[in-house]
Structure 1
Amino acid sequence: MKKVYLKDIAEQLNVSKTAVSLVLNNKGDENKISQETQKRIIKFAKDHNYVPNHLARGLSRGKTETIGLIIPNISDTFYAKIAGSIEARAAQEGFTVVFSSSNESPKKESSLIGDMLNRQVDGLIVASTQKNQKDIKMLMKNNFPLVLIDRNYPDLDTNFVVVDNYGGMNKATKHLLSKGKKRIVFVAINSDLEALKQRYLGYRDAVEKFEGNPNEPIEIYVDYNNYEADVKKKIKEFVEPKLNVDAFVFSTHYLAREGLRALKGLNVKVPEEVAMVSFSDLSAAFDLVEPPITSVLQPVEEMGNMAVDILLDEMGATKVKTMNDKKRILEVEFIVRKSCGS
């Protein structure tokens, strides 16, 4: 059955949208709307699968001093730390944060946005699946306070806080090349996420343009839902029966964790036989494991703080000067450790 909205009911019953809204929000009697009209509206809504416009309802009810946060996975240490910094910064300004995980599902992300609006949050911070452009556009069209974090839609003019994914991976790969590594394998999730695209481009440009002596990009892509087994299987193909790689660059911390585990399981010595680098190192204490892992460090706390500050500015909830730049690309830090060799 086709869904109908408030305006559809108003048009079909030849009544005002205000009258429909009041009745469906149980305010018909106090606004002296006749019982007959109320019954007609309620019956029509039930019979025709009425879907409330949570955004309009939330905007009409004033401030709740809550912020909605939608991230892919709260159990992931990277997003858990982002959530922690967002919660702490919001609390400083008198706001509470409502958390939800999309589990990389566009359908669930869309549902969560509706749930957040129904809770009447004052603004949203979203690490989107990047497959939910419809809802992001809807929020933008209605001028609902929104900041994208870690991930953004390149073709949408949204507020966002991301890191320099290209520059970080480019620098890490050039470091390996400067150490004489030629066959460098890029390991990533099979995904269309813009951040991963930028990391690949940083890697590719480094190997193809290094000091006028181009090398060939080599890529491994694994399934997100089975990445532990997939990483082990595909790394094994470069190791057995004969080691055929100089280094691995892992595009995420959890891939690096599984990569190190796989290499140790295959009795491949890091860095003596093969070097490795991780983009981010939050899934484990990469400075404490053996060997310590060379990593691109993301300013996670700064990301969370900046996202909240931009959102508060959008909501008009801060006393600081209005921000002119609400599209932030933060610098990363490259930390050289033992996994790259001497």
Structure 2
Amino acid sequence: MSTDEALGGILVATTADKIKADYFAANQKHATFLPPERLLTKQYKVSRSTMRRALALLTRRNLVRAEHGRGYRILEKGETSKKIPRIAILQAAEKSAIHHGRTSQEIIDAMQRQSLKRKWQVLNIDIGDINPQAVIADLKDAGIQAVALVFEDRKIVEALLKANIPCISLENSGRELNIDYIFQDNYGGARRATKYLLSRQHQRIAWVGPINDSYTSFARWSGARSALIEIGIDFLEDDVITEFEKLESVLKKLLSKKNRPKAVLALWESQIIALINVTKKLKLKIGKDIDIIGWSNQTRYQALKRDIFTKGKMPPMVVWNPDEMAEVAITRLIAHFENSNINPLHIAVPAKLVLPK
């Protein structure tokens, strides 16, 4: 251990002892919760990192318990900080995120909801470019028992496995590491959407969306094509739109042709909204002049119904549920808690075709 590490450990222990003396003595206890972390940092004149480690030390000593949205609760005699599982949700800082945006945030929100239902403690961590070993040290200091990843970083995963910290990957593309992967059923959802259009006697279907920029897009493209190839047809080259600059103009040109496709798969939210705008401009009635299918999650589906389709007919949509993904994730974490030697699984969360009423 270096001199700096030794001094850092002493400062953490000293800070924890000072907090204990100020807030936990029998004749001095005057609060149910400790002050917020930022105030403690200022009060004891230490860095945020040192304060977090001091609070983690108090947690391990069964003096406090972190409660989501409330802070660190001072425990009564006989209570323990170890009754409630503590998990961390790791997400990349925006500048380095592989999987970032609305979907990842909705997955994080769902994980928080499902964890709190079970009274689990959840810590969200943006790791950015932090060294994997520093991440592991912070997780251990915080008493984290398992990790959910909403981005993928091989070095982080390898460090977690080496430290014997169970981890699962949510909606990530790699699928190459020896951990659980939980994701939307992109292949199955796209296949169901395509078969629905075929059942409506469409033999020519257009595609609007990426096809190979990620596992998600490739799986959706493959699922759609499998349904077509099964009956001996395929997408026409001119009906596949994968470039999205001036998308509405491109769609308008395609759908204005005399011999145009009368069915379109637009399995991403931005593409389905652009497509809806074009059908309105061309006065094409969904379900009569043209059939289209989009893709969304349960939360966004309700928002689209409320905000986009207030006056028009809602098209069929492939819909998946982030809370269902979180439920599966929690179930797998429990399995890892109970048996550290279980084999990892790849689990597809159902993506259901929802038809308009």
TM-score (norm 2): 0.63
Counterpart in the other structure of 1:12: none
Q: Percent of aligned positions with the same letter in both sequences?
A: 16
Residues 166, 202 of structure 1: 8 Å contact kept:
yes
Residues 204, 263 of structure 2: 8 Å contact kept:
yes
1-structure distance, mates of 2:143, 2:225: 42
Counterpart in the other structure of 2:183: 162
Residues 172, 183 of structure 2: 8 Å contact kept:
yes
1:146-167 per-residue CA deviation (whole Å, 9 max, x = no partner) reads 2111224222221121132111
Counterpart in the other structure of 1:124: 147
2-structure distance, mates of 1:110, 1:261: 40
| 5+ residue gaps, structure 2 | 15-52, 61-65, 67-85, 93-98
Counterpart in the other structure of 1:68: 89
The 1:115/1:273 distance shift into structure 2, 3 A limit, reads: farther
Does 2:209 match 1:188? yes
1:74-114 per-residue CA deviation (whole Å, 9 max, x = no partner) reads 6x2x545433331122113333334468xxxxxx7555986
Residues 182, 215 of structure 1: 8 Å contact kept:
no
2-structure distance, mates of 1:321, 1:156: 16
Larger relative contact order (Cα-Cα within 8 Å, sequence gap ≥ 6):
1
Q: What's the CA shift for 1:245?
A: 1.7
Counterpart in the other structure of 1:238: 254
1-structure distance, mates of 2:257, 2:178: 50
SS in 1 for 2:314: coil
Indicate the larger mover: 303-312 or 62-71. Answer: 62-71
2-structure distance, mates of 1:243, 1:25: 74
Residues 185, 219 of structure 1: 8 Å contact kept:
yes
Residues 67, 121 of structure 1: 8 Å contact kept:
no
Number of aligned residue pairs: give it: 277
Residues 187, 220 of structure 2: 8 Å contact kept:
yes
1-structure distance, mates of 2:280, 2:143: 47
The 1:247/1:68 distance shift into structure 2, 3 A limit, reads: same
CA RMSD of aligned residues (A): 3.9
1-structure distance, mates of 2:8, 2:315: 58
Residues 67, 125 of structure 1: 8 Å contact kept:
yes
Counterpart in the other structure of 2:80: none
Does 2:320 match 1:303? no
The 1:297/1:26 distance shift into structure 2, 3 A limit, reads: same
Counterpart in the other structure of 2:285: 269
1-structure distance, mates of 2:334, 2:293: 36
1-structure distance, mates of 2:121, 2:115: 6
Q: Output the amino acid matched with 1:297.
A: V
SS in 2 for 1:198: helix
Q: What's the CA shift for 1:207?
A: 1.8
2-structure distance, mates of 1:239, 1:145: 50
| 5+ residue gaps, structure 1 | 1-16, 31-56, 102-107, 224-228
Does 2:137 match 1:137? no
Q: What's the CA shift for 1:267?
A: 3.1
The 1:241/1:179 distance shift into structure 2, 3 A limit, reads: closer
1:187-206 per-residue CA deviation (whole Å, 9 max, x = no partner) reads 22476321221111001112
SS in 1 for 2:270: helix
